[in-house]
Amino acid sequence: MIKKELTSLNISPIERGTSTGEQWFSAGEILVSTSPVDGNDIGHVCASSREDYERVLNIAFEAKRSWADIPAPRRGEIVRQFGEKLRARKSELGKLVSYEMGKSYQEGLGEVQEMIDICDFAVGQSRQLYGFTMHSERPAHRMYEQYHPLGIVGIISAFNFPVAVWAWNAALALVCGNVIIWKGSEKTPVCTIACQKILAEVLADNELPEGISSICTGGADLGRWMAADPRIDLVSATGSTRMGKEVATMVAARLGKSLLELGGNNAIIVTAHADLKLTVSAAVFGAVGTAGQRCTSTRRLIVHKDIYNKVRAALVDAYTQLKIGNPLESQNHVGPLIDHQAVESYLAALKEIEDEGGHLLTEGGIIQGEGYGSKCYVKPVIAEVANHYRIVQKETFAPILYLIRYEGSLENAVTIQNSVAQGLSSAIMTTNLHEAEYFLSHKGSDCGIANVNIGTSGAEIGGAFGGEKETGGGRESGSDAWKVYMRRQTNTINYSGTMPLAQGITFNL
């Protein structure tokens, strides 16, 4: 189905999943990448053995010295060239993302666009790795702070954004002077290989050494090797809260640094002053886009009782118009879930909703028949529930939208919204200034992302991306997220010729 694209991305039917740049090697087990779109095999990828991993670490350890010696704007130039190559390969890579992960072709292209955007951002950042200067309390002293590269940054990313999330980390980590080692999802290994090939081409064109960008392929064990490895200065992990807790614990045990971007349980509050048309389009895209497999997907809609019936009717009507099918065909709104395991957890969630007393407003289930042969296509569901249900408290990576009614003031809605363990993205739909400002105040949303009159998903790269509570607290992508990829140093220089002490302390010898 995507033969032409695979050829132009230089992907063979059998690939080695370990690479330090020009060198590709691997002695682990063979993973078969299967497309959820049609169930066909995309390619075979040889996973990384422990020896392969060690080899990668040794080469990266060597490379970090020479890469950090290159001035930051020159490193930015390498990232600029990477962005140029991505522009040239956008349609092929976007199509591969769509086919291997199952999101729509438009969303696949959008992901590659995010990669290009973060490259542009990082190029500018490479000339702006600023520290503050401060006035010293001592005469003839200068005080300032500066940022140095960390060394090796390990990146663990998830299947749902198989290329963009790596690029957010990679582009910034590289301009900050780090070498990178990436463990992509074992569910999307071909995307990982395609990205590494494009970046390796740039590094080779510039005659840079091996080990500036590496990949390893594997599952949880590989993630554990990285988390426990003191040679990895920062572990940036995106995925489930369960995975994040394990990574955080292992990294903390060695007092290492981690950047965690974990699960969400994102809500839109719909007040009595909401614009109904905006609300429905934000909620539907947020809930069924990427088949509900974004960490920013809209999971809960908390609706004021005065407009509850109207919102419910408009949503049910919109869901009847959704076209589910091959995500490479532009008329379809919803593609497949990633695999059968994801389908199982969707089905289990539907059962749990009903067991706990919830009510499905649209019918759920697997879609059968022609064009649905992969058995990964499911019907998007809206369910009326109470916020405290165990299933509602969990993040189910599937197109299930929970409808919750609130009464009285906005404070009640905010309490419901914040009464979950996760804290990634949130939104309010209102045309009332007081409500909007309350929601954005310290009494309002407790999430890392809080939006007014737009949905919970589809964040731009320019803002810092991440969330609070069980979402892990990390920030990636824009704003000053670059700082986490560097170590900070405060410097004081004495040019007075005397030795005055701070705090006015005297110490006469």
What residues make contact with ligand UN1 under the rule CB under 6 A? 160-161, 165, 238, 294-296, 457-459
Query: In 139-256, which ranges are E strands?
Result: 141-149, 152-156, 179-183, 213-216, 234-238
Question: For residues 185 and 430, which CB has a smaller minimum distance to ligand UN1 in the complex?
Answer: 185
Q: Tell me whether residue 39 or residue 462 sits nearer to ligand UN1 (CB atom).
A: 462
CB of 374 to ligand UN1, least distance (A): 22
Backbone angles phi, psi at 105, to 5 degrees: -60, -40
Which spans in 18-69 are helix H? 50-69
Least Å distance, CB 457 to ligand UN1, is 4
CB 135 within 8 A of CB 143: yes
Among 128, 38, 111, which residue's Cα sits nearest to residue 458? 111
What is residue 469's three-state secondary structure? strand
Per the annotation, the verdict on 100 as an active-site residue is: no
Residues 6+ apart with CB under 8 A from 127: 72, 73, 76
- At closest approach, how far in Å is the CB of 173 from ligand UN1? 17
Q: Which of 92, 107, 261, 476 is catalytic?
A: 261
Measured from the CB atom, the residue of 342 and 459 that comes closer to ligand UN1 is 459
Distance of closest approach, residue 165 Cβ to ligand UN1, in angstroms: 6
- Angle among Cα 282, 285, 287 to the nearest 5 degrees reads 100
Nearer to ligand UN1, 311 or 459 (CB): 459
Q: How far is the CB of 489 from ligand UN1 (least distance, A)?
A: 32
Q: Which is nearer to ligand UN1, 96 or 461 (CB)?
A: 461
Q: Judge contact between 403 and 383, C-beta under 8 A.
A: yes
Q: Which amino acid is at 201?
A: E
DSSP secondary structure code for residue 324 in this structure: B
9 contacts 197 by C-beta, under 8 angstroms:
yes
Determine the Cα–Cα distance for residues 290 and 322; give it in Å rounded to an integer.
Answer: 13
Structure tokens at 382: 């809206």
Between 296 and 387, name the residue whose CB sits nearer to ligand UN1. Answer: 296
Minimum CB distance to ligand UN1, residue 396 (Å): 14
Query: What are the beta bridge partners of residue 30?
Result: 46
**Amino acid identity, position 389:** Y
Catalytic positions are 261
